[in-house]
């Protein structure tokens, strides 16, 4: 645990008692604060009360009298589409609002760093797609290289639940826009921006607000090194804002598909080969084509981001390459779950938006595509670059017919359920085909989360394979 500093004897409100909220309450108590906890869910309140926390309705009149700080969970809106009533009350009372990420950064560097020969470091990864794979890949490479590493944030453990840092250790954080937009302290040593595509626009009041939430990771604390994906205009703008000139190697630009040139520090992947250039000279290269845990151009972009972050931490190219080779990928993210009779079965249930699904479609050849669910705003036009690889789409979800209509001339079959979609795709699959779950939609019309959807796909494939 990372005890929160500077909160001794303070009454601090905690809103939302899921993983991040409970861990924040524990870390606050460990730091000498008196947490006042609330969640609209009675079961969550009972768990907190069972751990000895004071539970009190934070929406009642006068709830913020003598409260020094409100710590809120990331899923609770504080501005758009409208503030949660408890957060609105805190804002009206002038009570500062923070989250567990802000508490972590204000407390982490106070953990006895003066005693270490090599101070621990923090790598923080954000972006629209690829955050989880990039974060896990950095953590894996570090661990394989013998470096003490912990994975936390939006993946792995809660940030305040991690172990106290070791000499030379690295904490790798995956951070969503929900986490970066509100944290009052953001001071990573290395910050990574993978890419940007429309997502969560209602929460951020549009694309500009969404980008601004991501940008805070770089503007608030000023990382020693910034790894920036420059395949979109926002990434190019961010890299430009952070650098003082073309040769400023505090910014490492990365790309999947474009050769980057100039006197600075660049890492890019083209035709399956990763290349690193520094001061106009090649400094490293990796053949990514045979690394099964990193298929497709979108994963090659993740590889570039992870490579750049690991190089910024001082790892040699061959050490990074060895880590890449043993990386098995993450569940629900381009996860190869089976191969039989020349047909591969891939679970990419995490492809919950159009951009991530399009990237998955471009990673494979002949695809029997299981898609559909709760559509996000913006339509399906962004899928066009990958639809040429689709032999047939098997559409699931409560609004499967409407989803299928939006796919234009792509051959479709309305299956509605995962059970029927998997069965039909497997009946019709031929050698060389890939049966791919990449929904391009949220899961909430049929499942609690994308993990449950991916697990259902995996279970039905394996049951049919026998």
Q: Is 128 within any annotated ligand binding site?
A: yes
347 bridge partner residues:
335, 437
Q: Is 153 within any annotated ligand binding site?
A: no
Q: Is 131 within any annotated ligand binding site?
A: yes
- Distances in Å between the Cα of 375 and the Cα atoms of 102, 280, 354 are 32, 45, 9
- Distances in Å between the Cα of 319 and the Cα atoms of 1, 141, 149, 205, 322 are 30, 8, 15, 43, 5
Q: Is 292 within any annotated ligand binding site?
A: no
Q: Is 130 within any annotated ligand binding site?
A: yes
Q: Which two tokens stand for residue 236?
A: 């190019």
Tell me the DSSP string of 31-88: TT-EEEEE-SSHHHHHHHHHTT-EE--TTSTTTTTT--EEEE-TTS-SSSS---HHHH
Asked if 313 and 227 count as a contact pair (C-beta separation under 8 A), the reply is no
The strand pair at 190-193 and 170-174 is best described as unpaired
The single-letter DSSP state of residue 381 is G
CB burial readout 315-342, b (16+ within 10 A) else e = bebebbbebbeebebbebbbbebeeeee
Q: Where are the alpha helices (DSSP H) in 185-229?
A: 201-204, 207-219
Q: Which two tokens stand for residue 135?
A: 């974060």
Binding residues for ATP: 127-133
Residues flagged as binding site: 127-133
């Amino acid at each position: 645990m990372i005890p929160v500093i500077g909160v001794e004897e303070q009454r601090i409100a905690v809103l939302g008692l899921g993983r991040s909220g409970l861990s924040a309450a524990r870390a606050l108590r460990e730091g000498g604060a008196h947490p006042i906890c609330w969640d609209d869910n009675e079961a969550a309140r009972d768990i907190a009360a069972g751990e000895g926390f004071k539970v009190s309705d934070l929406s009642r009149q006068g709830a913020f009298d003598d409260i020094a700080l409100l710590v809120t969970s990331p899923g609770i809106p504080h501005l758009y589409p409208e503030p949660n009533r408890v957060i609105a009350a805190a804002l009206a009372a002038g009570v500062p609002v923070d989250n567990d990420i802000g508490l972590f950064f204000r407390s982490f560097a106070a953990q006895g760093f003066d005693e270490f020969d090599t101070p621990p470091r923090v790598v923080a990864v954000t972006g629209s797609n690829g955050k989880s794979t990039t974060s896990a890949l950095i953590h894996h490479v570090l661990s394989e290289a013998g470096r003490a590493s912990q994975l936390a944030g939006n993946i792995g453990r809660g940030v305040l639940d991690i172990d106290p840092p070791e000499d030379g250790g690295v904490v790798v954080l995956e951070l969503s826009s929900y986490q970066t937009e509100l944290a009052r302290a953001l001071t990573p040593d290395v910050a990574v921006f993978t890419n940007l595509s429309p997502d969560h626009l209602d929460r951020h009041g549009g694309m500009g607000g969404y980008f601004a939430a991501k940008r805070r990771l770089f503007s608030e604390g000023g990382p020693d090194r910034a790894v920036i994906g420059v395949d979109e205009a926002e990434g190019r703008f961010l890299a430009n804002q952070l650098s003082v000139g073309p040769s400023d190697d505090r910014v490492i630009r990365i790309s999947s598909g474009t050769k980057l040139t100039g006197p600075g520090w660049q890492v890019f992947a083209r035709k399956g080969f990763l290349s690193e250039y520094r001061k106009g000279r090649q400094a490293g290269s990796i053949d990514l084509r045979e690394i099964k845990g990193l298929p497709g151009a979108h994963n090659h972009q993740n590889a570039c981001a992870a490579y750049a972050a690991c190089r910024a931490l001082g790892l040699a190219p061959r050490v990074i390459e060895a880590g890449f080779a043993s990386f098995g990928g993450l569940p629900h993210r381009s996860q190869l779950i089976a191969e039989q009779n020349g047909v591969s079965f891939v679970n990419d249930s995490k492809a919950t938006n159009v951009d991530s699904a399009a990237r998955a479609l471009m990673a494979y050849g002949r695809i029997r595509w299981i898609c559909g669910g709760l559509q996000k705003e913006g339509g399906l036009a962004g899928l066009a670059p990958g639809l040429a690889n689709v032999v047939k789409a098997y559409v699931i979800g409560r609004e499967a017919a409407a989803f299928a209509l939006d796919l234009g001339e792509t051959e479709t079959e309305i299956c509605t359920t995962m059970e029927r979609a998997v069965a039909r795709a497997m009946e019709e699959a031929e050698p060389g085909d890939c049966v791919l779950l990449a929904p391009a939609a949220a899961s909430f019309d049929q499942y609690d989360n994308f993990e449950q959807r991916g697990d259902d796909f995996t279970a039905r494939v394996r049951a049919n394979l026998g």
